[in-house]
Structure 1
């Protein structure tokens, strides 16, 4: 109905009524436009400096490998440092990278080695910035506007993707690389000014605040124990490993196969961004017809078809149309994987879980880019595109049976665990801690109980335990004890705050098999 559509539209742009979000969103769009301009200049310059397909692909690898290596530490840092100051520091580093590229290109001293090294440093800045930008969004808008803010951030990236490459290609062709890098430096000035203007409220210290190593270990424990996250990571890795070929080889496609200039390469990248914007607009209609698995399959087949069509070196107008279609497929895959990952991650580990997703995403992109560069060196760019297209279509059909999680569980904290009894205050770093829960389970209920409690064990391991087990009493088969180990008293107290409503429902399923008087007995033991 028209009223529903208008309400939806108003809701989508409601976050822009928050002045801080609006200013930072606009600054981020400008900053991303500058970054895309820098990337276009670097990707094109490497084709001037070297005719090697491997060297061209290494630019993409250098940009994405740091995100693969540093995304998880960056996610931890975003939780334990002042996010505003951290973002300002990262922006200064990125501005310094572009400033150095400006000086080297202006003095004609830029080499392939310098270009790859500085691209790698820029990738480090991007790795540190990504999880932190995502983490500050809930601080900028009310809870009811959070989904709209996330959607606007995605829209902003695609606006930058549509404008930045095209503008970068035109400036590069008209004024040279030094001016292109200079415009990127100016874009960082706008972002830094916006961050300095933002007066972020001070965050109160908590006695349960995590240190870097503890938070890092907790994030890895969650990742290791979450089978739902494993499925998302597997499907994402397979898609991006094959789809990375088009990004790694596109400069060579534009220059060698299509005979285009730097401006035409920018237009091709701009077409991808424009296609992504169009894809974002049609995504609601697609979601009504397809589930997450259907969307990923559609995105894979579209991307494979585009790569296959580029093999035939189409005329420029058709190449632009194909890249528009690629943008639609690319944004469909990106938003689907990202939204599923966000839906299955509770708030306390969201940044670290998304950092793991970014690690897999960029690791697959880096490995794929390097690998497809080597393949292109051996069999040529058209051959590499054809192999990657066929491979992407094949794995999309094969892995379609590995279903993505629905992400419908209630992950809000339940806070239903009672505070543990202590004879005297316990030092928070004391540990390890053993928690024991004693049940009375009838013999006929044991198979169903064991099935339920093993599902509950995943919650224990995700939320902080590093070992778990269930045993029976040797003299009383109905006396069953669940136990798990946590590294410290503080980490166990954090478990009390991490248990979700979905976990509480699972615990209730286990408790219905208990036949003893009252609730199961819970004991806490501290290492001496």
Structure 2
């Protein structure tokens, strides 16, 4: 009987820290609001244009600033007050949400308004993302950092389920204006928590140029054992591992000859697996052997993706979608934990901006490449090849690198 409370305490041990509880709650509310807006915004873009191209363009413009400016955001995260950077990021995103709500309420909204605002939201995220990644380790003890990162993944996946559901209800009952307004209101939660937390790390003053600081971050990654491997793995995981979810509609239509209900079922299976994977990652207390474990999970993910590509059984495919979500979430949580522990506080913003850039870049690049290859070679062969590629790359690093490669550094004293 006592094992269940102990297991729960181990999973949620990062919540022992007041500041982490506050940030987690604020971030969860804000992320739910973001998914509420995404639901309405997608419908609005398509209603205005009747062209699927603009849906892709809207997503691309939201990601473009992150790819362009996140390295600069990492430099500033190591030079400035990370809380202030996050606040500015939240203000930009909140203003964009309220502006879109106003434009829609006044019947003035055009598609170029939405595309421009998506770009500005991306600019805010390109500086807020590195600041958040750099701030997170200061909210918990070093021994609980892996758990905090896993709990952050749970927050995101919880919002991914709750947000679209609330978005659908709000869109039907209240209209698109309120979807955008609710997202704007949700930023108040994270802004309030940022004012309540205690930030202990004070970045040292420097007169170095931004480019020199950026080069120092890249040099740190090249010299620090295991960091280059993690950056490469992050890119390959999103390049090959995220392709399964991205092209599910093709499988549903061409392989199973089904409709949106089957697509939703497979997404739910993937989401459930993601939550299970995040809970598993949260329950792991020690970092020992986590590098090798991550590589084994990535090899397994490659096998799962290949199996899904070859499957013609819907129940079996549902099981594989659950396992893929579990493996993907656990591996990405472990990799992020290792990256955070390998770096130092003084370099954290720059290093995590490079890591995040590699992680994010794999998604659009993979989607673009596979979108060209699937019509030529078929969805089964193309997606099966991504699974094999992920297996081969992960197996290479498993054989070529020992666990000692992923050595965490001791937490630096706070000034």
Calculate the TM-score normalised by the size of structure 2.
Answer: 0.80
Aligned-CA RMSD value:
3.9
CA shift digits 1:443-467 (9 cap, x unpaired): xxxxxxxxxxxxxxxxxxxxxxxxx
Q: 1 CA distance for matches of 2:196 and 2:59?
A: 34
Asked if structure 1 preserves the Cα contact closer than 8 Å seen for 2:221 and 2:227, the reply is: yes
Instruction: Note if 1:279 corresponds to 2:277.
Output: yes
CA shift digits 1:188-212 (9 cap, x unpaired): 1211122233454684x74668664
Q: 2 CA distance for matches of 1:271 and 1:294?
A: 22
CA shift digits 1:483-521 (9 cap, x unpaired): xxxxxxxxxxxxxxxxxxxxxxxxxxxxxxxxxxxxxxx
Distance 1:198 1:61, change over 3 A: same
CA shift digits 1:16-35 (9 cap, x unpaired): 23333222211111111111
Q: Residue 298 of structure 2 corresponds to which residue in structure 1?
A: 296
5 Å-filtered alignment, 1:256-335, equals 258-260=258-260, 272-283=270-281, 291-306=293-308, 324-335=322-333
Asked if structure 2 preserves the Cα contact closer than 8 Å seen for 1:295 and 1:336, the reply is: no
Q: Residue 71 of structure 1 corresponds to which residue in structure 2?
A: 70
Q: 2 CA distance for matches of 1:110 and 1:321?
A: 43
Task: Find the partner of 1:399 among 372, 386, 393.
Answer: 393
Q: 2 CA distance for matches of 1:245 and 1:328?
A: 15
Asked if structure 1 preserves the Cα contact closer than 8 Å seen for 2:226 and 2:406, the reply is: no
CA shift digits 1:243-284 (9 cap, x unpaired): 4444545678889975439xx988865654332111223446
Deviation at 1:301, TM superposition (A): 3.0
Deviation at 1:289, TM superposition (A): 13
Instruction: Note if 1:349 corresponds to 2:347.
Output: yes
Q: Residue 240 of structure 2 corresponds to which residue in structure 1?
A: 242
Of Structure 1 and Structure 2, the greater strand share is in 1
Instruction: Note if 1:169 corresponds to 2:176.
Output: no
Q: 1 CA distance for matches of 2:340 and 2:265?
A: 32
Q: Residue 80 of structure 1 corresponds to which residue in structure 2?
A: 79
Q: Residue 219 of structure 2 corresponds to which residue in structure 1?
A: 221
Q: Residue 36 of structure 1 corresponds to which residue in structure 2?
A: 35
Of Structure 1 and Structure 2, the greater helix share is in 2
Higher relative contact order (CA 8 A, sep 6+): 2
Calculate the TM-score normalised by the size of structure 1.
Answer: 0.64
Q: 1 CA distance for matches of 2:189 and 2:291?
A: 41
Distance 1:392 1:373, change over 3 A: closer
Deviation at 1:128, TM superposition (A): 1.5
Who wins on radius of gyration, i.e. which is larger? 1
Q: Residue 466 of structure 1 corresponds to which residue in structure 2?
A: none
CA shift digits 1:360-390 (9 cap, x unpaired): 11111122233445557x56xxx76435412
In structure 2, runs of 5+ residues without a counterpart are none
Deviation at 1:159, TM superposition (A): 1.9
Give the secondary structure class of the aligned counterpart of 2:340.
Answer: helix
Distance 1:303 1:183, change over 3 A: farther
Q: Which stretch of the first structure deviates more once superposed, 38-47 or 251-260?
A: 251-260
